[in-house]
Amino acid sequence: MERISFRKDLLNKKLGRRAFILGASQLVLVGFLIRRMRELQLQESEKYQLLAEENRIDIRILPPMRGIIFDGDGRPLAKNRENYRLRIIKEKAKDPRAVLKNVSSLILLRDERKADILSEIERKKPYIPVTVIENISWKDFIRVTVNLPSLPGIVPEVVFKRFYLEDNFLAHVIGYVGSISQSDLKTISTVDPILQIPDFQIGKVGVEKGLDSLLRGKVGLIRHEVNASGRVIRKLNEDPSSSGKDIHLTINTLLQEFAMYRIEEFSASVVVIDLETGGILCLASSPSFDPNQFVEGMSQKDWDSLRNSENQPLANRAISGNYPPGSTFKMLVAIAGIEAGLIDPEELINCSGFYEISDRKFHCWKALGHGDKNLVEGIQESCDVYFYTLALRVGIDRITETAKKFGIGMAVPLPLPGVSKGLLPSKSWLKTNYKKQWVKGHTLNSGIGQGFLLSTPLQIAVMIARLATGLEVKPQLVKAIDGKPVKNQNKRMIGIKKTTFSIIQKAMFNVVNEKTGTAYKSRVVDKSKILAGKTGTSQIRKISEEERLTGIKKNEELPRAQRDHALFAGYAPFINPKYAISVVVEHGGGGSKVAAPIARDVLLFALSGAIPALNAYPIDQRNEVRLTLDKIREKSALKKTKRG
Partner 1 sequence: MHWPLVILVLVIGTFGFIMLYSVAEGDFEKWARPQIERFVIGFVFMIIIGLIHIDFWRVCSPFVYFFGIFLLIFVLFFGDYGGGARRWLEFGSFRFQPSEIIKVGLVMFLAIYYDWLQPAKVSKIFWVCIPATIILLPTALVIPQPDLGTGTLIAITGLTIMFVAGVHYLYFLGGLLLLPGLLGLIFYSRGTSWQLVTDYQFGRIDTFLNPTHDPLGEGYQITQSKIALGSGGLEGKGFMQGSQSQLDFLPQKHTDFIFTTIAEEFGFFGGVGLLLMYSVIIIFCIVSATTNKNKFGSLLTIGLTTVFFTYFFINIAAVTGMVPVTGVPLPLISYGGSAMLVVLGTFGLIQSAHIHRLLKRD
- Number of residues binding to partner 1, judged by CB under 8 A: 42
The DSSP 8-state label assigned to residue 593 in this structure reads I
Contact pick of 16, 193, 485, 609 for partner 1 (by CB under 8 A): 16
Q: Rounded CA gap, 422 and 153, in Å?
A: 55
Q: Rounded CA gap, 287 and 265, in Å?
A: 8
Q: Mapped to the 3 state alphabet, what secondary structure does 201-239 carry?
A: EEECCHHHHHCHHHHHCECEEEEEEECCCCCEEEEEEEE
Nearer to partner 1 by C-beta: 59 or 108? 59
User: Is residue 47 at the binding interface for partner 1, with CB under 8 A as the rule?
Assistant: yes
Nearer to partner 1 by C-beta: 47 or 492? 47
Q: Rounded CA gap, 71 and 69, in Å?
A: 7
Please state the φ and ψ torsions of residue 570, each to the nearest 5 degrees.
Answer: -160, -175
Contact pattern from residue 85 through residue 104 relative to partner 1, giving x for each residue in contact according to CB under 8 A and a dash for the rest: ------x-------------
Peptide bond into 573 cis (omega under 30): yes
Q: Which residues contact 331 (CB under 8 A, 6 or more apart)?
A: 379, 467, 504, 507, 508, 534
Contact pick of 1, 8, 32, 300 for partner 1 (by CB under 8 A): 32
Sheet with 220-226, edge to edge strand ranges? 57-62, 220-226, 232-239
Distance separating the N- and C-terminal Cα atoms of the chain: 112
Q: CA 152 → CA 96, 128, 530, distances in Å?
A: 9, 15, 71
Contact pick of 1, 4, 11, 368 for partner 1 (by CB under 8 A): 11
Cβ atoms of 558 and 550 closer than 8 Å: no
Please state the φ and ψ torsions of residue 164, each to the nearest 5 degrees.
Answer: -105, 115
Nearer to partner 1 by C-beta: 15 or 188? 15
User: Is residue 48 at the binding interface for partner 1, with CB under 8 A as the rule?
Assistant: yes
Nearer to partner 1 by C-beta: 56 or 366? 56
What one-letter code names the amino acid at 525?
V
Nearer to partner 1 by C-beta: 47 or 235? 47
Stretch that binds partner 1, among 222-230, 340-348, 507-515, 622-630 (CB under 8 A): 222-230
Q: Rounded CA gap, 30 and 620, in Å?
A: 112
Cβ atoms of 208 and 225 closer than 8 Å: no
Distance of CA 37 to the CA centre of its chain: 64
Contact pick of 7, 23, 276, 637 for partner 1 (by CB under 8 A): 23
Stretch that binds partner 1, among 33-41, 180-188, 423-431, 432-440 (CB under 8 A): 33-41
Stretch that binds partner 1, among 42-50, 427-435, 529-537, 610-618 (CB under 8 A): 42-50
Stretch that binds partner 1, among 12-20, 340-348, 440-448, 631-639 (CB under 8 A): 12-20
Contact pick of 225, 265, 356, 634 for partner 1 (by CB under 8 A): 225
User: In the bound complex, what is the minimum distance in angstroms from residue 113's beta carbon to partner 1?
Assistant: 29
User: In the bound complex, what is the minimum distance in angstroms from residue 32's beta carbon to partner 1?
Assistant: 8
Q: Rounded CA gap, 266 and 565, in Å?
A: 11
Contact pattern from residue 49 through residue 68 relative to partner 1, giving x for each residue in contact according to CB under 8 A and a dash for the rest: x-xx--xx------------
User: Is residue 232 at the binding interface for partner 1, with CB under 8 A as the rule?
Assistant: no
Contact pick of 14, 97, 235, 631 for partner 1 (by CB under 8 A): 14
Which residue, 411, 64, 501, 397, is CA-closest to 240? 64
Nearer to partner 1 by C-beta: 232 or 638? 232
Nearer to partner 1 by C-beta: 33 or 619? 33
Nearer to partner 1 by C-beta: 51 or 142? 51
Between residue 399 and residue 418, which ones bind partner 1 under the rule CB under 8 A? none
Contact pick of 107, 195, 197, 226 for partner 1 (by CB under 8 A): 226
Footprint on this chain of partner 1 (rule: CB under 8 A): 2, 5-6, 11-12, 14-16, 18-20, 22-23, 26-27, 29-30, 32-34, 36-38, 40-42, 44-45, 47-49, 51-52, 55-56, 91, 225-229, 233
